[in-house]
Each structure stands twice: as C-alpha cells, then as structure tokens.
Amino acid sequence: FSKSNKQIQHSLFSTNKFKVIIDRFPGVNFFTQILVVPSINITDIKRPTNTMHDYPLPGDKVNYDALNLTFLLDEDLTGYIELKEWLESFQRFSGNLNNALSDICVIPLTNNSNYNKLQFKFRNSFPINISGFPLDVTDTQEQPLSIDCLFEFSTFEIIKTP
C-alpha cells in the first residue's frame, strides 16, 4: 500500500454542455438539444439446477440500445433533409457498406465550456428512425421544432484524450 501526494480533482459531469459531430456531415450543425447515452446490458445464461430455480450466469453478448438524439430544426431543414436522404439511401444501396455508415462523436464540455478529455465514439452508425414533426396553424407561439433520430452503431467507446 503506497500513499500518493497527488491531489484528486473531482468536478461534476455537466449534462447540458456537449457537441455532436456526425462525420458524414462535417459542415452541418444539428443543434442537438438532448442526447441519450444508450443503455448497456448483457445477456444471461440460465444454468439448470436440481431445484426449481435456474442459476443465472453472465452471458457473452453485450447489447446496446439505440443512440437517441433530439435536434432543433433550422429554417431550411438542413439537418432533417440530410438525415432523411441518408436513411432513404439504404433502400437503393449497393456497394461497400462502409461508405454508408458514419462515426458519431460526442464531446462533452467542462463546466467552463472547454473540451472535456473524454469523447464518446459511436462507430459505424446509421439512422433507423427519424420522428415526424407537426405544422400547426393554430399554434400562436413561435417555438422551434425538434425531431428525434435513433441511430444503431457497431461499437461504443469512451476515449480519453490527452
């Protein structure tokens, strides 16, 4: 057992300061409002016993829920159109699948709005659902519209940067 003279600094993780970059669309600002980091679970294996209860053991597959992003829509619907065209491109897809997938990087910001030393990387992502949005002439308040988009991905990494 050794003692260290290092001071450990603990700041709370800020949930309302982050930047989302979709590699496929380097020039598009998606005005992300909400990002739900996916749930992670592992399958279990039931080991039979001589009692009425099977004994659960950890399985060998880790499963992730879809990545859920909520975006504000700009006047030109730029983000919506890009996502719509990307999703629709899969129905006429032929060729290398890697060209159709994209990494999504989430960069949390510190409480001082600096880049955090962590990044969430969702590799080989693709959209699986884009929510609809209402156009309503009875709505008297001008509020920005938002959409939800669900993404599947092959791997999820938390990367520490220097």
- Distance CA(70)–CA(65), nearest Å, equals 16
Residues of the chain with pLDDT under 70: 1-10, 12-14, 93
The secondary structure of 69-100 as a DSSP string is EEEEPPTT-HHHHHHHHHHHHGGG--S-GGGT
Beta partners for residue 58, in sequence order: 44
Q: Which residue in this structure is represented by tokens 């008297």?
A: 140
Please count the residues of the chain.
162
Note the pLDDT of residue 157: 95
pTM of the model: 0.81
- Distance CA(159)–CA(130), nearest Å, equals 28
Strands 146-152 and 67-72: antiparallel
Note the pLDDT of residue 20: 92
Note the pLDDT of residue 2: 53
Q: Note the pLDDT tens digit of each residue in 60-76.
A: 889 999 999 999 999 99
Q: In angstroms, how far apart are the furthest CA atoms of the chain?
A: 69
Note the pLDDT of residue 12: 66
Note the pLDDT of residue 10: 67
Note the pLDDT of residue 53: 84
- Distance CA(77)–CA(52), nearest Å, equals 58
Note the pLDDT of residue 106: 93
* CB atoms near residue 22 (< 10 Å): 23
The secondary structure of 2-61 as a DSSP string is ----PPPP--PPPSS-EEEEETT-TT----EEEEEPPPEEEEEEEEP-SSSSPEEEEEEE
Cα-based torsion angle of the residue sequence 23, 26, 29, 33 in order, rounded to the nearest 10 degrees: 10
